[in-house]
Amino acid sequence: MDATIALDAMGGDHGPQVVVPAALRMLKKHPELKLILVGDSAQIASFIGNQDAPVQQRLSVHHASQVVAMNESPAKALRLKKDSSMRVAINLVKSGDAQACVSAGNTGALMATARFVLKTLPHIDRPAICTALPTKTGHTHMLDLGANVDSTAEHLLQFSVMGSVLTEAVDNLPNPRVGLLNIGEEDMKGNEQVKKAALLLEEAAINYIGFVEGDDIFKGTVDVIVCDGFVGNVALKTSEGVAQMITHYVKQAFKRNLLTKIAALFALPVIKTLRRQIDPRRYNGASLLGLQGIVIKSHGGADELAFTYAISEAIREVEKSVPTQISHQLDAILGN
Amino acid sequence: MDATIALDAMGGDHGPQVVVPAALRMLKKHPELKLILVGDSAQIASFIGNQDAPVQQRLSVHHASQVVAMNESPAKALRLKKDSSMRVAINLVKSGDAQACVSAGNTGALMATARFVLKTLPHIDRPAICTALPTKTGHTHMLDLGANVDSTAEHLLQFSVMGSVLTEAVDNLPNPRVGLLNIGEEDMKGNEQVKKAALLLEEAAINYIGFVEGDDIFKGTVDVIVCDGFVGNVALKTSEGVAQMITHYVKQAFKRNLLTKIAALFALPVIKTLRRQIDPRRYNGASLLGLQGIVIKSHGGADELAFTYAISEAIREVEKSVPTQISHQLDAILGN
């Protein structure tokens, strides 16, 4: 894997403190990988320290003088932050100096900037955000997770094709099962966009399995879940909220008294295994699909381990040339 | 509490097998409560058996010859099932023979029939489905959960008033905090309906606290969560799905080997406490709000315990005359 990936070293809640150690860890793990750290070169250097030559040679720093704030409006970031670490990282993808970029920065600004710099693929009206989520049997991919609101049936079809191609590529899974998120499995249920999208998906050359409901996301019975970004974002955040609440109750229950604390000692190894299995950090790294280039969004609060998963997602998408594959599939399905 | 409540004894996956024992349990618990079991009188009688006079006196059976199937279309149920247990139970509310009804039957048919028979309150375009959900600190109410798709800003305002009144009444909680479900807390985020609804809610005489996100549902920081029915239904089902997946992983983790099985023995009392705390059966009983009468929807798969919670919800709403209170509040907020 001799990919070169640009990292927005200043993005996210922790900036270079997390991004640089994550980068070093990945360089040690992947002997062919090259990384470009984009951002304040002095700050970045202070986190690199002394590295062995085999790592040092594959790591470069690209200075950028500005940082996009986590709460900055996308329009303002686009207009006023032309030398931001985020924008420069995307520019490196545009120029071909990098094959992908990863940022933990502000999602809206990242999407707006990536769209402005890289442009969308032919047949794509709106890029979408896609991530993997854990299921009872493995994982599934879901999109859109918030890039769009009020998606039309045609947008949902575009998301379906993108999600199907991504899943087939990164999971080596031929013909992934694509489901349309709805509020019932019967044909008559749902809103107009979803009903119309179902008709389009039935005709498309993807493995469309029909409507799925919110609880189907985690069953392992569908590989790609397609929905409007408003709905997808609410579903994603809701699932995070439930997991946090359950964790809270588990902690409380084991802390209650001496007996429960003893029980906790016995249960600890099991709980640790469990936490590893559904550790959200393993699912860090959402793809901005539909662009002429690979852009991966890390969670803003990602720690070092979580950020390495976002870099891994970038590597997989570079290896499989995901944008090119999406483009071919869109050509085949949506005409020339 | 001398309320009379009609129960659709044939509704749900289990019909009288669950509804009748639940009814008997509630009659024993509430010495003033009166219940009318509606449905096939022979079947119902076989589940009643011999009861003490104090229970028997407060239990009556009202025969209905038809049953609405769980997958029957609302339009068909409305047209062809005029003597269904569901419809007759609603008729008893309309005639004043009962102050509320509870059904575990098909949600679409229940909503359509209730709306047709009871009519909506003045100022209400569309009734909404509202239920309590567990949070880290207690519970919250959320609506709409699937009665409506494509809700306008005005519908969201109506839902807000109804949810606020219900929560204040059944939780004895003055000025409940009302949040609008969105995909970000910033003003610029969200779809047009939500942005417009926010402006209406700011002006209304309710305790509107602003936008909330999916993960806020379970934090205990908001008492009423308002959203479109498509979004709410997806969020509800998603939360059920996450909880099921986590339960699945917990079971797997404790079953892995001899050591984990020993750990399970120690953890069992804690797990039992936990299951009780977030037992979804405790939250069974969704309110169909906005009607001229009290209609409670039990989960179709409810067991005896779960069904008693739906009856309890009906009792609370009768005690507090929820529809009358909603009507007054709507008059005050939306004019005469």
Which of A146, A244, A274 faces B253 most closely, judged by CB atoms? Answer: A274
- Inter-chain contact A262–B262, Cβ cutoff 8 Å? no
C-beta of residue A130 within 8 angstroms of C-beta of residue A141: yes
Residues A302 and A242 both lie in one domain: no
C-beta of residue A153 within 8 angstroms of C-beta of residue A280: no
Distance between CA atoms of residues A318 and A102, nearest Å: 12
Give residue A21's domain range.
1-120+290-320
Instruction: Give the model confidence (pLDDT) of A37-46 as tens digits.
Output: 999 999 999 9
Domain count, chain A: 2
pLDDT at A230 over 80: yes
- Inter-chain contact A213–B237, Cβ cutoff 8 Å? yes
Which residues have a Cβ under 8 Å from the Cβ of A328 and sit 6 or more positions away?
A: none
Residue B67 lies in a domain: yes
| Window 213-252 of A, Cβ < 8 Å to B | 213-219, 227, 229-231, 233-246, 248-250
Residues A172 and A271 both lie in one domain: yes
Residues B211 and B260 both lie in one domain: yes
Instruction: Give the model confidence (pLDDT) of A232-287 as tens digits.
Output: 999 999 999 999 998 888 888 888 888 888 888 888 888 888 888 778 888 999 99
Which residues have a Cβ under 8 Å from the Cβ of A275 and sit 6 or more positions away?
A: none
Which of B241, B260, B278 faces A217 most closely, judged by CB atoms? Answer: B241
Return phi, psi of residue A247, to 5°: -55, -45
Burial A166-189 (b: 16+ CB within 10 A, else e): bbbbbbeeeebbbbbbbbbeeeeb
C-beta of residue B116 within 8 angstroms of C-beta of residue B260: no
Q: Are strands A139-143 and A128-134 parallel, antiparallel or unpaired?
A: antiparallel
Residues A54 and A164 both lie in one domain: no
Residues B103 and B231 both lie in one domain: no
Residue A37 lies in a domain: yes
More confident: A96 or B282: A96
| Window 154-183 of B, Cβ < 8 Å to A | 181, 183
Distances (CA, A) of B299 to A4, A146, A296, B239: 53, 30, 41, 15
A149 contacts in B (CB within 8 Å)? Answer: 183, 190-191
Quote the tokens at residue A185: 């499995």
Cis peptide before B144 (omega within 30 of 0): yes
Q: How confident is the model at residue A336 (pLDDT cuts 50, 70, 90)?
A: low
DSSP for B231-268, written as a single string: HHHHHHHHHHHHHHHHHHHHHHHHHSSHHHHHHHHHHH
Chain A contact present for B264, CB below 8 A = yes
Interface test with B, best of A137, A211, A225, A238 (most B CBs within 10 A): A238
Instruction: Give the model confidence (pLDDT) of B117-166 as tens digits.
Output: 999 999 998 999 999 999 999 999 999 999 988 899 999 999 999 999 99
Which of A186, A214, A227 faces B236 most closely, judged by CB atoms? Answer: A214
Return phi, psi of residue B149, to 5°: -120, 160
pLDDT at B206 over 90: yes
- Inter-chain contact A277–B249, Cβ cutoff 8 Å? yes
- Inter-chain contact A234–B237, Cβ cutoff 8 Å? no
Residues A70 and A137 both lie in one domain: no
Residue B136, Cα to own-chain centre: how many angstroms? 20
Residue A219 lies in a domain: yes
Residues B71 and B146 both lie in one domain: no
Residues B256 and B160 both lie in one domain: yes
Percentage of chain B with pLDDT > 70? 98
Mean pLDDT of chain B: 93
Strands (E), chain B: 4-8, 34-39, 59-63, 100-103, 128-134, 139-143, 178-181, 208-212, 224-226, 286-289, 294-297
Distance between CA atoms of residues A16 and B268, nearest Å: 44
Residue B137 lies in a domain: yes
- Inter-chain contact A244–B191, Cβ cutoff 8 Å? no
C-beta of residue A226 within 8 angstroms of C-beta of residue A181: yes
Percentage of chain B with pLDDT > 90? 78
**Chain A with chain B: Cβ pairs closer than 8 A:** 181
Task: Please tell me the distance in Å from B34's CA to the nearest CA on chain A.
Answer: 35
pLDDT at A2: 76
Task: Please tell me the distance in Å from A241's CA to the nearest CA on chain B.
Answer: 4
ipTM for the predicted complex comes to 0.92
Q: Are strands B294-297 and B286-289 parallel, antiparallel or unpaired?
A: antiparallel
Which residues have a Cβ under 8 Å from the Cβ of B273 and sit 6 or more positions away?
A: A253, A256
Distance between CA atoms of residues A13 and B320, nearest Å: 48
Return phi, psi of residue B178, to 5°: -105, 125
Mean pLDDT calculated for residue range B208-233: 96
Chain A contact present for B186, CB below 8 A = yes
Mean pLDDT calculated for residue range A4-17: 97
- Inter-chain contact B213–A234, Cβ cutoff 8 Å? yes
Residue A162 lies in a domain: yes
Q: How confident is the model at residue B186 (pLDDT cuts 50, 70, 90)?
A: low
Q: Residue length, chain A?
A: 336
Interface test with B, best of A126, A245, A250, A252 (most B CBs within 10 A): A245
Mean pLDDT calculated for residue range B203-221: 95
Interface test with A, best of B215, B251, B271 (most A CBs within 10 A): B215
Residue B335 lies in a domain: no
pLDDT at A152: 95
Residues B28 and B131 both lie in one domain: no
Burial B121-154 (b: 16+ CB within 10 A, else e): bebbebbbbbbbbbbbeebbbbbbbbbbbebbbb
The CATH number linked to B232 is 3.40.718.10
Distance between CA atoms of residues B111 and B115, nearest Å: 6
A249 contacts in B (CB within 8 Å)? Answer: 136, 274, 277-278
pLDDT at B2 over 80: no
Distance between CA atoms of residues A125 and B331, nearest Å: 45
- Inter-chain contact B269–A254, Cβ cutoff 8 Å? no
DSSP for A41-55, written as a single string: HHHHHHHH-S--HHH
Distance between CA atoms of residues B1 and A194, nearest Å: 46
Residues B132 and B273 both lie in one domain: yes
pLDDT at B336 over 60: no
Residue B326 lies in a domain: no
Residue B38 lies in a domain: yes
Cβ neighbours, 10 Å, residue A162: 29
- Inter-chain contact B263–A259, Cβ cutoff 8 Å? no
- Inter-chain contact B213–A231, Cβ cutoff 8 Å? no
Distance between CA atoms of residues A196 and A199, nearest Å: 5
Residue B92, Cα to own-chain centre: how many angstroms? 19
Residues B228 and B86 both lie in one domain: no
Task: Please tell me the distance in Å from B53's CA to the nearest CA on chain A.
Answer: 43
- Inter-chain contact A238–B215, Cβ cutoff 8 Å? yes
Burial of A25 (0-12, 13-18, 19+ CB in 10 A): middle
Tally of CA atoms within 13 A in the half-sphere of B216 that contains its CB: 23
Instruction: Give the model confidence (pLDDT) of B29-67 as tens digits.
Output: 999 999 999 999 999 999 998 889 989 999 999 999 999
Chain A contact present for B259, CB below 8 A = yes
Chain A contact present for B136, CB below 8 A = yes
Which of A136, A246, A266 faces B266 most closely, judged by CB atoms? Answer: A266
Distance between CA atoms of residues B248 and B115, nearest Å: 39
Residues B101 and B176 both lie in one domain: no
Instruction: Give the model confidence (pLDDT) of B309-328 as tens digits.
Output: 999 999 999 999 999 999 99
Instruction: Give the model confidence (pLDDT) of A146-200 as tens digits.
Output: 998 889 999 999 999 999 999 999 999 999 999 999 997 666 678 889 999 999 9
Strand ranges across the sheet with B208-212: B59-63, B34-39, B4-8, B100-103, B294-297, B286-289, B128-134, B139-143, B224-226, B178-181, B208-212
